[in-house]
Structure formats: C-alpha cells, structure tokens
Amino acid sequence: MTASAKPGPKGTEGEEPDRRQQIVAAAAEIFFDKGYERACIDDLIARVGGSKRTIYNIFESKEGLFTAVVDSFLTDYAKRIDAVSAADEAGADLRTSILAFARASTSIVYAPPMLSLYRVLIGEGRRFPNLAKSFFERGASVVATVLTRILERHKAKGELVIEDCRLAAEQLMGLVRDYQYLGVLLGVCEQPPPEVLEHRIIALVDIFLDGVATHRRA
Amino acid sequence: MTASAKPGPKGTEGEEPDRRQQIVAAAAEIFFDKGYERACIDDLIARVGGSKRTIYNIFESKEGLFTAVVDSFLTDYAKRIDAVSAADEAGADLRTSILAFARASTSIVYAPPMLSLYRVLIGEGRRFPNLAKSFFERGASVVATVLTRILERHKAKGELVIEDCRLAAEQLMGLVRDYQYLGVLLGVCEQPPPEVLEHRIIALVDIFLDGVATHRRA
DNA sequence: GTCTATATTGCGATAGAC
DNA sequence: GTCTATCGCAATATAGAC
C-alpha cells in the first residue's frame, strides 16, 4: 500500500498498461486519501515518476486531472445503467426494469471509488463548484434522465399512476441511497454484504411500485 | 463580520446572552467554514475573546467543542420529530403522520446548519470516527427509531403490508433525501423554495404509501 | 532530519460574587 | 477577606510539511 513497485525513471518494464491510465489510478488514490485540496501534484510524481510538466501537458490542470479520475469511474458505471435501459427498451416489464435499475444503481453507489468521490466532493464541493457540478451532471444527473425515460415508457403503456416521471425517478434514486447508505458514507457503518443489499433492493422496489399502505388512497 | 465587538477583558457589557452559547455559535461558523481539521482554537479565541484555557475547561477538547456544536442543533431538530411522534400517539391517521414526518424531516435535512454538518462529517468522518458516529447515532439514528415506532403502531392496526418496519423507515428517510437533496449537498443546486419542497413531500408520501404502479403485485 | 503549526496543559494574576 | 471562574501567557507534544 505504501511503497509499491515504483517504476524506474525510464519505466520500460515490459508493456506499460497505458501510462495515462496508470497516472489516473494513482491520482485517484491520492485524491481519495487526502481530499482534493490537500492532494498535491508532487505526491503524484513521487508515485508514478515523470515530471510535473508531463502531467500538465496531459491533463491541463489539477482540476483536469481530477476530472479524468471522475471519468475513469463514471464511464464504467454508465455502462451498467445503459444495460438496464437497453433491456427495458427491448421490452422488459416494469418490475424487472425497476429491479434491474435498483441493482445497478446500488452496485454503483456502494462501490468504494464512488463513495470516495462523494466524500471528497460533498466535503469540498462548495470550494470547487465546477468539479462538483461536472461530477453531478455527468453522474447522478444522467442516471436520473435514463430512469425517467424508462418510467415514461411504462407510463405510456398505462402501467404507472404518476404525473411527473422525472420527480418519481429522483425519488427512487433516494430510495437507493437510504439511511444505511448514509451510514456507510459517513464511515459509521461497514459496507453491507451482498445479501443484505439484495434484501433491501427487493424491499425498495416493492415500496416504489406498490407502497406500504394496506388500502390505497381514494 | 471580521472585527466584531470583542468584549473587553472584564467582559461585563450588559447581559451576556449566555457566554457558552455564544462560543458554540462562533465555533459552528468556524467549523462550517473551514472544516473540522482546519478549524483551530486560536481562530475561535480571536472571535470570541477569552483564553484557550477557558475553552478547554468548558469543552474538554476540540472534539468536545464540536460535539457541543452538534448538540446545539440536534436538540432543536429533535423537538420537531418528537412533535410528530406525539401527534401520532395521540391518534393521527397514517397518512397524516407520514406527511408530518416528511415535512419535519425535510425541514431538518435542508436546514443550512444541518447541510454544513453533513458536509463536514462526510468529508472528514473517516479521520474522526467518533465524531461521525456520535453525530449519526444521535441524529439520523434516533429519527429512524422514532419513525419505526410510528410505523409499528399503524402496522398493529392492520394499515401496513410490510414485515420490517425498521427497514421501511430507513427507506422512507431515503425518499426525503432524494436526488435533489444530493444536489444541494454537493452545492450544485440552490436551496429549493418551500413550495417546491412541499410538492416533493406530497409526492414522496404518495409513493411511500401507495406506490407508483397501476396494478399491485399479486 | 528540521521546522512549522497547532492541540493541549500548567501556572500565576485578576475580577467579581458572597 | 475567601472563592471561583476566567484570563494571559508560556511550555509541551506531536503530526505533518519541506
């Protein structure tokens, strides 16, 4: 964890698995460990070698570097959401799609890098508004859009009673990030094991689709 | 804001509105502005006067000071939740109680000091685990307990279909802290005006009680 | 390794309550 | 007068920066 195999200055030990990717991974660890502001480029140099000049050539700025870190995770997570959307478009029924969304979404928000990103950006977001904005808009915001589309498709089939699909989507996202998630984010609760998460996923889908009341409102 | 009226060494300028309370309020501003770790006692002294020794006499330590800040807000917020609980015990019906809970809960989580507390503790919680733990246990955790009790009362009356009231309570709390709350917490969205919040509150109560699906599961 | 920043503590002086 | 709380200052300790 501390003194990992630092590549020599010339760094030609076989096939480098994409130098850029390697830098981004190291930068992620530093940002997650020390936060955005306290992280410094020199720490990064100390880990991956090379020169500051190279870093700035590739990433433009410290913000650009952080954005690259965000991207490296978001692109992966986006695929999971897109898969849900594709299955829905292919004709999955309502409950199946919502369940798939809840699973994908849960796997994303509890992923350690995602927790770290939220910790950094919630803590320092007001100081670095464009970082927080870009993270939110390219992360949660597109997820909300995709989910809204899914809900609208089912509403068109007469399967939903709601007026505002966007609002329902945003609230379903809240169900995923519930009290327990908050505990994990605060570092108070351990990462829940998969079976616990699955149990909660089932429960939240039931609540979202059917509610908890015995008799529905008039 | 900067050079406020520093009380003279003798400090007898009329009725001091509780010296301790004044210190806690100033400490809150500093913690919220700079975060826990970067806040220092000397800043506090510069604002409220007095000596470090006195601070330590009253609050024991920096952690104790922060805990006092947390308490100063939590005790106020706890009353709002207790009022909901009392009304429910007095016989309020299910929808009324859930609506009242959603309103109280929303007013708390969107309150600027609460947002600041979350920002500080989510950002630095892993470094100061007892602070985060104490905050969580005396805040969200007791809210979950009170809400669970409310749900159990209505379950006993046959008004709820759920098995696990605690789980449902935790998920309802997630509905309150939805996507939009996350945007506010990140500093990306403005504080929503009351009518927007009220509209979302109504919608989340409907989802929680009735769900969004046209036909209930078998 | 040095150096700085800062949490924490010790101690004598002082002011007001009684 | 005594007592108590605070004050102001100086000293210790430690963690991180350079």
State the average pLDDT for chain A: 89
Which A positions 161-180 lie with beta carbon below 8 A of chain B? 161-162, 164, 167-171, 173-180
Q: Do B168 and A200 touch (CB under 8 A)?
A: no
Is A95 within a domain? yes
Residues 6+ apart with CB under 8 A from B181: A174, B109, B110
> pLDDT tens digit string along B128-160?
999 999 999 999 999 999 999 999 999 999 999
Tell me which residue has tokens 């039931």. A206
Is A21 within a domain? no
Name which of A84-88, A191-195, B19-23 the model is least confident about. Answer: B19-23
Is B7 within a domain? no
Q: Is the CB of B62 under 7 A from strand C?
A: yes
Is A193 within a domain? yes
Is A122 within a domain? yes
Is B11 within a domain? no
The total of structural domains in chain B comes to: 1
CATH code of the domain in which B128 resides? 1.10.357.10
| Residue A15 pLDDT | 57
| Residue A9 pLDDT | 45
Domain that holds residue A191: 73-210
> pLDDT tens digit string along B116-131?
999 999 999 999 999 9
Q: Chain centroid to CA A134: how far?
A: 13
d(CA B101, CA B215): 27
Is B167 within a domain? yes
Amino acid at B33: D
- B115, B173, B186, B195: best to mutate for the A interface, most A CBs within 10 A: B186
Is B51 within a domain? no
- B81, B135, B178, B181: best to mutate for the A interface, most A CBs within 10 A: B178
- pLDDT bin (cut points 50, 70, 90) of residue B14 is very low
Q: Is the CB of B53 under 7 A from strand D?
A: yes
Reading the block at residue A58, the tokens are: 């590739």
d(CA B7, CA B47): 10
Q: Looking at the complex, does the CB of residue A17 fall below 8 Å from at least one CB of chain B?
A: no
Rounded to an integer, the average pLDDT of B86-95 is: 96
* B9 CA, D13 C1': Å apart: 29
pTM of structure: 0.89
Q: Looking at the complex, does the CB of residue B146 fall below 8 Å from at least one CB of chain A?
A: no
Query: How many other C-beta atoms can be found within 10 angstroms of the C-beta atom of residue B52?
Result: 11
Q: Do B179 and A170 touch (CB under 8 A)?
A: yes
- pLDDT above 90 as % of chain A: 68
* A166 CA, D15 C1': Å apart: 49
Angle at A118 between CA A113 and CA A124, to 5 degrees: 125
**B51 vs A17, residue with greater confidence:** B51
